[in-house]
Structure 1
């Protein structure tokens, strides 16, 4: 029984129609794809100018050309949801959700039923590349779970309908990892899906036990990580210890899956339901291969405008990108994850993380860590490890960081049993407490 499709249908999400549209879109030739995208962009803009007072006021009612449209930011949505909906939509006939709040305050948003269905259809299509069927494939799930009784029961029902076994990412102790491994010996999982840091920690546990997970659970086909950065060294670790391909999914709750690793190991951007732009700080397009801020347009959402929406990430498109097949070359992290140093230099927070990660893992026994900027010149590095870092190793890490950044910085290292995570279970690897 196709319980997942049936559950979407019962909620009046027209999943069959959405799947059919994606099939037809796939048939459009590359030579005609740019015209297709331009038509979809124009169609969604004109819809919201005609039916959405909030967007019409933002644009001042004037649509000269695509480049003249404003860049939408989360601050534009700091009004009640009802005031942002298009005519004909209310909370009775839409899908609503809220962002995680990892880049600031959580934001409520909406999708019309068809828009939400086509997001799911795209998701199902991409997972299908790896032989995964949401109706039949059993998932080992690494996400948070609400503690509220009603929300908890709702999530459990969703997990049942979607054939998911959820592991707690809030308890990753040695004892919890032992029990986790035992479950893999008992259930025929088809794939792993969830937060990168939690699955990486499990892979490090497997390495320490000299275990390849595929040997324990032969039915496994693929691991799909999401919501957190995936570094090349971690990808290699996952592929080695899990014994299966590792897929990197990038997206956000407002618009859905943005990029997904294809079978050629390219990070392919969704050009069927979204339009991605990479812009400089003056909102001008940058050439392919160059870095800039990621701006997304949702091509189907008629209930709520996400048009030229700055999602808060920096990245770059590959020089090989085409209108039909854009390839994400790199993802640099969130635009607000920067450290302001005493000299005034601005450094990407992930710089600290990448440098420290390399050195600490070469030192051995480091399972995971988190960098927090307390003051412009002071950083706290909390880490989970079998052994405490020696003064000599700390000196080497500090010296290397100063070479990349600047001298006079202070680093405090603290060994912890577990690291603090967000309420949803994500590990935010760099945090700045400095007012920027």
Structure 2
């Protein structure tokens, strides 16, 4: 029995039909695909201008024939009651409702109509099939957050049961907890791992300390798919060596869809089937392939709630050889609000700052995790979890490396803690700006 498909149908999501529609989209010729995108863009725009009171007000100056006349929508525009943002014919009783994690600093509740959500799942299942993963039969080891209240906890555990997955807590990353995780991998024939990058990295470090390759104790394991947090090259190498399977990078947003997924060839393929992606500059001008800017996304199927030219809050670029049909992500630098602003006026992506420090800190196996906070223009706090404190020599090396890549005369403070604070969803926010 295809239990996962059945659970989707039970909740009103026509997954079989969605799979067929997705296959038709993917089977289109180059010219037919371009026509499909243009038609779908106009259809979703016209729908919300006609039937969504919130969007009518938001987009009152839109010229239906000029896509660039559409204003950029941000998360802050959507921070009002969900009932005020739904299209006519939709209510909280007949849509899929969820909320964003708030990792961008602007959490909100969102909605998808049931057909849109079915298309989302068709897209996800299609991408995972590249690695011979079938949600109906492949057992998933899931490293995600989980609500700690009784009702929320029970609901997620039931969903896990129907989704053929076992969830590991990301709130306890101690060796004792990982010993229990390891036991489960010995007892259960997991086919894939899916979850937040940082706890998976910590599990890989645990395996390295134990001199264990996960594939050797769980031979059924095929692939590890990381999501929601940045995957650095050093971490990818570590996970791959300790898990013994391919590591796949996923980029998505709960309010939208799966945005990009790494192919077996190593390309980061953007979802152009159900989304329309643009990269724009600070003046909202669309940038050519290869140039970095804000990631703007249009959901082509969500009739319940508008996500049209929606600024997801990330900075990225598409490869020079991208096309409308096969766009590929070249870089993803992180959140637009995660920018380092230095006393000289120089700017840098926060994760670039994190990466500089990471290459130095993590040569010391004593450090398990760390985060960086910019308190003022010239003051930075590095909070780290470790068995023993950093030596003055190590602190000096880190400080010099930061100044080498950024600029001199910065104040770097080190703060040691037992456990780093995660978001309510269980994510680790690696760089925080308090400016």
TM-score calculated relative to the size of structure 2: 0.97
| Partner residue in 2 for 1:76 | 77
| Partner residue in 1 for 2:30 | 30
| Partner residue in 1 for 2:168 | 167
Cα-to-partner distance string for 1:52-89 (whole Å, 9 max, x where unaligned): 12112212164231111111111211222112111111
Instruction: Tell me the SS of whatever aligns to 2:383.
Output: strand
Is the 8 Å Cα contact of residues 142 and 195 (structure 1) preserved in structure 2? yes
Consecutive aligned runs of 4 or more in structure 1 exceeding 6 Å deviation: none
| Partner residue in 2 for 1:393 | 394
| Partner residue in 2 for 1:257 | 258
Q: Distance in 1 between matches of 2:351 and 2:119?
A: 33
Report the more deviating stretch, 58-67 or 303-312. Answer: 58-67
Structure-to-structure mapping, 1:80-99, within 5 angstroms: 80-99=81-100
Structure-to-structure mapping, 1:215-364, within 5 angstroms: 215-364=216-365
Q: Does 1:20 pair with 2:23?
A: no
Give 5+ residue unaligned stretches, structure 2: none
Aligned residues between the structures: 434
Q: Distance in 1 between matches of 2:323 and 2:230?
A: 25
Report the more deviating stretch, 195-204 or 416-425. Answer: 416-425
| Partner residue in 1 for 2:49 | 49
Q: Distance in 2 between matches of 1:259 and 1:111?
A: 19
| Partner residue in 2 for 1:137 | 138
Shift of 1:32: 2.8
Q: Distance in 2 between matches of 1:335 and 1:80?
A: 25
Q: Does 1:182 pair with 2:183?
A: yes
| Partner residue in 2 for 1:192 | 193
Is the 8 Å Cα contact of residues 75 and 106 (structure 2) preserved in structure 1? no
Shift of 1:380: 1.4
Distance change in 2, residues 1:62/1:290 (3 Å): closer
Is the 8 Å Cα contact of residues 280 and 295 (structure 2) preserved in structure 1? yes
Q: Distance in 2 between matches of 1:114 and 1:274?
A: 14
Is the 8 Å Cα contact of residues 74 and 107 (structure 1) preserved in structure 2? yes
Instruction: Tell me the SS of whatever aligns to 2:131.
Output: coil
Q: Does 1:59 pair with 2:59?
A: yes
Report the more deviating stretch, 334-343 or 226-235. Answer: 334-343
| Partner residue in 1 for 2:419 | 418
Cα-to-partner distance string for 1:306-327 (whole Å, 9 max, x where unaligned): 0000000000001121111110
Shift of 1:375: 2.3
Report the more deviating stretch, 231-240 or 415-424. Answer: 415-424
Q: Distance in 1 between matches of 2:106 and 2:315?
A: 20
TM-score calculated relative to the size of structure 1: 0.97
Cα-to-partner distance string for 1:259-305 (whole Å, 9 max, x where unaligned): 00112111000011000000111111111111000000000001111
Q: Distance in 2 between matches of 1:123 and 1:37?
A: 20
Is the 8 Å Cα contact of residues 173 and 418 (structure 1) preserved in structure 2? no
Structure-to-structure mapping, 1:80-119, within 5 angstroms: 80-119=81-120
| Partner residue in 2 for 1:384 | 385
Instruction: Tell me the SS of whatever aligns to 1:375.
Output: coil
Give 5+ residue unaligned stretches, structure 1: none
Is the 8 Å Cα contact of residues 76 and 106 (structure 2) preserved in structure 1? no
Instruction: Tell me the SS of whatever aligns to 2:363.
Output: helix
Shift of 1:339: 2.4
Shift of 1:345: 2.8
Cα-to-partner distance string for 1:155-180 (whole Å, 9 max, x where unaligned): 00000000111111000011111121
Shift of 1:384: 2.6
Is the 8 Å Cα contact of residues 42 and 64 (structure 2) preserved in structure 1? no
| Partner residue in 2 for 1:210 | 211
Q: Distance in 2 between matches of 1:387 and 1:130?
A: 41
| Partner residue in 2 for 1:124 | 125
Is the 8 Å Cα contact of residues 314 and 336 (structure 2) preserved in structure 1? yes
Q: Distance in 1 between matches of 2:149 and 2:285?
A: 45
Report the more deviating stretch, 175-184 or 27-36. Answer: 27-36
RMSD of aligned residue pairs (Cα, Å): 1.3
Shift of 1:414: 2.6
Is the 8 Å Cα contact of residues 363 and 393 (structure 1) preserved in structure 2? no
Q: Distance in 1 between matches of 2:348 and 2:25?
A: 41
Q: Distance in 2 between matches of 1:80 and 1:305?
A: 14
